[in-house]
Amino acid sequence: MTAKILLPVAASVSAAYVVAAPEEPVPAAAVTELVEALPPEVELRVEEIDGADPSLARAIQVLSCPDCSPDVDPLIAVLLEMAKRHLRVTCTAPLGWPPSHLHWCALATDRLAELTGGIRLDPRRPRLLPNPWRPEPFLSREDFAIGDWVSTGFAVGDDELYVMRTVGLSWIGLPELRAGRLSEELLHGWLHLFHGLGHVLAGTLFERPPDRRGVEIEAEQVVTVADVAASHRVAPPVRRRQVAVRLRYDVRTRDLCLLAPAEFAGREAEWRERVADVMCA
């Protein structure tokens, strides 16, 4: 019998961006107009915060570091540090398909930045967003590309190897993915794996009956190169290759950790290398 994992899920999920250092106040009529355009299941909140807010402080620190963010204009970094106020734009919706809050939060952020002269900012990653920024709507599940909304961070562990973790799966109600003991040459392939697995798990989540309290997933998952292509809404490769992964839910961090399948007989390091080779093919 295949082992399963029952993941806890919330009744609603949220996405949040920041309009940093606005030059003008938010026109009340503009917020009203945005609210009236929202689908009935999506709620919009616009809040004024300062640079010390936990959701923004680390982002400003990273974007102001020349070594951490070499592509960020130093003048923008100074502006972010000196600004006394910023706007947090949050959209909330019930868990499940469609994740309309993602698209509407992006549109609201873009519109308010346009009206106030503020800087579009994703504090999770952190990164500056393009101007203008109007992501394409997803009208069907085939239109929804998890790679548009989820990124992956890297950190060097005590063993001098890398730890990878997604940023953004929680915005649709899934745990973030985490894997460790990765050498630098494996990162590209594992980045593909994370996106492909995110696509697979999002499909499971969106198919979940609305009356279920959690979402049940297989402890062992198969990820194909076609899943990776779908995560970016591009044509799948002709050759269908795949890898199997085993998931373990970490109650402490609330992440899904990626491990070698139970039947894998070799060393785990060999499995990590094989995964990178297949996902890069």
pLDDT one-digit tens code per residue, 39-76 = 999 999 999 999 889 888 999 889 988 888 888 888 88
Look up the domain containing 76 and give its range. 12-128
State whether 117 and 149 are in the same domain: no
Q: Are residues 96 and 190 in the same domain?
A: no
- Residue ending a domain, choose from 104, 128, 152: 128
The residue behind tokens 């082992």 is 3
Describe the crossing of helices 54-63 and 74-82 by its angle, rounded to 10 degrees. 150
Pairing of strands 176-182, 162-167: antiparallel
Q: How far apart are CA 207 and CA 268, in angstroms?
A: 32
**Is residue 2 in some structural domain?**
no
Partners of 48 in the β-ladder: 87
Q: Is 267 in the same domain as 193?
A: yes
Residue 1 has pLDDT above 60, yes or no: no
Angle at 167 between CA 165 and CA 170, to 5 degrees: 110
Q: Look at residue 256 and tell me if it is in a domain.
A: yes
Q: Please state the rounded mean pLDDT for residues 253-275.
A: 94
Q: Look at residue 138 and tell me if it is in a domain.
A: no
- pLDDT given at position 72: 87
Note whether 88 and 217 are same-domain residues.
Answer: no
- Residue 18: inside a domain, yes or no? yes
Q: Which two tokens stand for residue 183?
A: 């050498």
The b/e string for 173-206 (b: 16+ C-beta within 10 A; e otherwise) is bbbbbbbeebeeebeebbbbbbbbbbbbbbeebb
Q: How many domains does the chain have?
A: 2
